[in-house]
């Protein structure tokens, strides 16, 4: 749930937006003038502001400039107007507004814009996080080298892998230095194609294709048609194969072939676990820099503890755990006991299993279940293979073979 401040002098607009956004689960605050909005903004920071341009006391552009001058433009602002123009929209964007909604506001356009604005806030860390300097693990080093080769091709590329892998981080490795990088849901929300004009020579990244809405799939075909005109490369991600996208998610075969001219399988986090300590340090540093938490640092033992954990939720789960540690650890230094405390609190059955396995053929679904089953047992038994063998009822030699086949490992010697 996010707190959204709606600033509009028309009571009908305020009440309508409030009703819609509250139905979506958000906490909505209302302001009928710039003065009230100014007072609210001084008292607390909302997660998003919907700001009308034409108001009787102070217009929205002036208030936006005021917030920018006072250093208060650190939350997403979406402008609204019933008398909008391209010049006004450009000026608002130049000052710092994220987007522009023209009245009467279409429901789907409103919801898509709000979702994107809140995601922009949530993924500010992700945009600055980079895996460019990582590569202790041979698997990640090889993946980066292959992506470097693929970066020279203009062909559409489909990244395949497990959910939670933050595929945008890998997609950014394909973009030339200083080249535009557009998160694709922004383009899919607007079928006009105007947004591509500023992305020439860069990349449009399309998130998990299996989760796109029907209108986004329709716009995706239009986006593909315009990409070549603007010399934009399409890079997409899917947690399921193209046949499943066609059979179960509404993607037509011709479009599936268009977006998967090249394919690349992303490694799961367990495949490059030696890079987990460096990833954790980078994520924590961003939280500290953004003042999400007080200054913190990991002890070497805590980093080793993170490296030994299993991560069925991949990079997203690691990021969540690091944030939890950053906010709840009592000392400046994060210790192994802190890691164990946070991990134990998150050791419930993973939602990833039922959500993801049903999209797979039987053999793949069975392998996924086995992997998650043994990952959870290894986690609960602190990596002890003998204890996992006892809990699972498997003979130890057979268990070793099973873990190796699944790409898992545990402690052979007991402490």
Q: What is the pLDDT of residues 184-206, one digit of tens each?
A: 766 676 555 566 666 777 888 88
- Mean of pLDDT values over 71-81: 81
Query: What is the pLDDT confidence band of residue 275, given thresholds at 50, 70 and 90?
Result: very high
Q: Is the domain of 297 the same as that of 370?
A: no
Q: Is the domain of 309 the same as that of 215?
A: no
User: What CATH number has the domain bearing residue 184?
Assistant: 3.40.50.300
Contact assessment for residue 109 and residue 189, using Cβ atoms and an 8 Å cutoff: yes
Residue 201 lies in a domain: yes
Q: Which one, of 200, 220, 195, lies nearest residue 210 by Cα?
A: 220
Q: What is the pLDDT of residues 381-390, one digit of tens each?
A: 767 778 888 8
Q: What pLDDT score was predicted for residue 116?
A: 79
Q: Is the domain of 52 the same as that of 111?
A: yes
Residue 415 lies in a domain: no
HEC letters along 310-363: CCCCHHHHHHHHHHHHHHHCCCCEECHHHHHHHHHCCCCCCCHHHHHHCCCCHH
Q: What pLDDT score was predicted for residue 414?
A: 43
Decide if pLDDT at 299 tops 80: yes
Q: What is the pLDDT of residues 85-136, one digit of tens each?
A: 667 777 787 787 888 888 888 888 898 888 878 876 555 554 467 898 899 9
Within 10 Å of residue 124's Cβ, how many Cβ atoms? Answer: 15
Decide if pLDDT at 412 tops 60: no
Last residue of a domain, one of 304, 322, 344: 344
Q: Is the domain of 15 the same as that of 49?
A: yes
- Mean of pLDDT values over 170-197: 72
Last residue of a domain, one of 326, 344, 362: 344
- Mean of pLDDT values over 127-150: 89
Which tokens in the block code for residue 265? 């399988």
Q: Is the domain of 183 the same as that of 279?
A: no
Last residue of a domain, one of 265, 289, 307: 265
- Mean of pLDDT values over 207-223: 82
Share of the chain above pLDDT 90, in %: 34
User: What CATH number has the domain bearing residue 46?
Assistant: 3.40.50.2300
Q: Is the domain of 11 the same as that of 81?
A: yes
User: What CATH number has the domain bearing residue 282?
Assistant: 1.10.8.60
Q: Is the domain of 254 the same as that of 297?
A: no
* Average pLDDT over all residues of the chain: 83
Q: Pseudo-torsion of CA 362, 364, 367, 372, nearest 10°?
A: -110
Return phi, psi of residue 100, to 5°: -140, 125
Decide if pLDDT at 221 tops 50: yes
Q: Which one, of 179, 169, 220, lies nearest residue 199 by Cα?
A: 179
Residue 149 lies in a domain: no
HEC letters along 13-64: HHHHHHHHHHHCCCEEEEECCHHHHHHHHHHCCCCEEEEECCCCCCCHHHHH
Decide if pLDDT at 253 tops 80: yes
Within 13 Å of residue 292, how many CA atoms lie on the same side as its CB? 19
Residue 411 lies in a domain: no
Q: Is the domain of 100 the same as that of 183?
A: no
Q: What is the pLDDT of residues 54-63, one digit of tens each?
A: 888 888 999 9
pTM: 0.59
Considering its fold, how many domains does the chain have in total?
4
Lowest mean pLDDT of 5-19, 234-248, 349-363, name the range.
349-363
Q: State the burial class of residue 127 (Cβ atoms within 10 Å of its Cβ: 0-12, 13-18, 19+).
A: middle
- Mean of pLDDT values over 160-179: 86
Query: What is the pLDDT confidence band of residue 160, given thresholds at 50, 70 and 90?
Result: very high
Contact assessment for residue 171 and residue 235, using Cβ atoms and an 8 Å cutoff: yes
Share of the chain above pLDDT 70, in %: 85
Q: What pLDDT score was predicted for residue 350?
A: 47
Q: Is the domain of 76 the same as that of 33?
A: yes
Decide if pLDDT at 312 tops 90: no
Domain with 367, as residue range(s), is: 354-405
- Mean of pLDDT values over 348-353: 48
Residues in Cβ contact with 38 at an 8 Å cutoff, skipping those fewer than 6 apart: 63, 66
Decide if pLDDT at 18 tops 50: yes
Q: What pLDDT score was predicted for residue 193?
A: 57
- Mean of pLDDT values over 339-356: 65
Q: What pLDDT score was predicted for residue 126?
A: 46
Decide if pLDDT at 355 tops 60: no
Q: Measured between alpha carbons, how far is 2 from 319 in angstroms, rounded to an integer?
A: 20
């Amino acid at each position: 749930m996010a707190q959204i401040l709606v600033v509009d002098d028309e009571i009908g607009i305020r009440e309508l937006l409030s009703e819609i956004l509250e139905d979506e689960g958000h906490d909505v605050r209302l302001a009928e003038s710039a003065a009230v909005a100014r007072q609210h903004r001084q008292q607390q920071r909302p997660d998003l502001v919907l700001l009308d341009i034409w108001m009787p006391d102070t217009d929205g552009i002036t208030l936006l400039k005021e917030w920018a001058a006072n250093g208060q433009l650190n939350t997403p602002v979406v402008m609204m107007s019933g008398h909008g123009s391209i010049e006004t929209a450009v000026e608002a964007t130049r000052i710092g507004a994220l987007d522009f909604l023209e009245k009467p506001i279409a429901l789907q356009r409103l919801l898509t814009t709000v979702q994107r604005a809140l995601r922009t806030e949530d993924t500010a860390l992700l945009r600055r996080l980079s895996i460019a300097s990582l590569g202790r693990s041979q698997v990640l080093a090889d993946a980066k080298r292959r992506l470097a080769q693929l970066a020279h091709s203009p062909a559409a590329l489909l990244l395949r892998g497990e959910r939670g892998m933050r595929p945008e981080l890998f997609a950014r490795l394909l973009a030339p230095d200083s080249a535009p990088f557009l998160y694709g849901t922004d383009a899919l929300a607007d079928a006009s194609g105007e947004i591509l004009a500023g992305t020439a020579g860069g990349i449009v990244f399309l998130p998990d294709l299996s989760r796109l809405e029907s209108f986004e799939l329709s716009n995706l075909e239009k986006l593909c048609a315009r990409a070549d005109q603007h010399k934009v490369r399409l890079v997409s991600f899917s947690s399921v194969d193209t046949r499943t996208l066609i059979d179960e998610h509404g993607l037509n075969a011709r479009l599936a072939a268009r977006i998967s001219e090249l394919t690349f399988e992303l490694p799961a986090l367990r495949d490059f676990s030696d890079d987990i300590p460096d990833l954790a340090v980078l994520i924590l540093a961003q939280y500290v820099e953004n003042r999400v938490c007080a200054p913190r640092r990991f002890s070497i033992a805590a980093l080793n503890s993170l490296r030994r954990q299993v991560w069925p939720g991949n990079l997203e789960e690691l990021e969540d755990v690091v944030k939890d540690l950053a906010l709840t650890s009592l000392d400046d230094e994060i210790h192994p006991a802190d890691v164990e405390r946070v991990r134990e609190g998150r050791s419930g059955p993973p939602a990833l299993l039922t959500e993801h396995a049903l999209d797979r053929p039987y053999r793949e679904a069975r392998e996924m279940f086995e992997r998650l089953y043994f990952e959870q047992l290894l986690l609960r038994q602190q990596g002890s293979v003998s204890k996992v063998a006892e809990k699972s009822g498997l003979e130890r030699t057979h268990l070793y073979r099973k873990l190796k086949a699944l790409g898992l490992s545990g402690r052979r010697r007991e402490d």
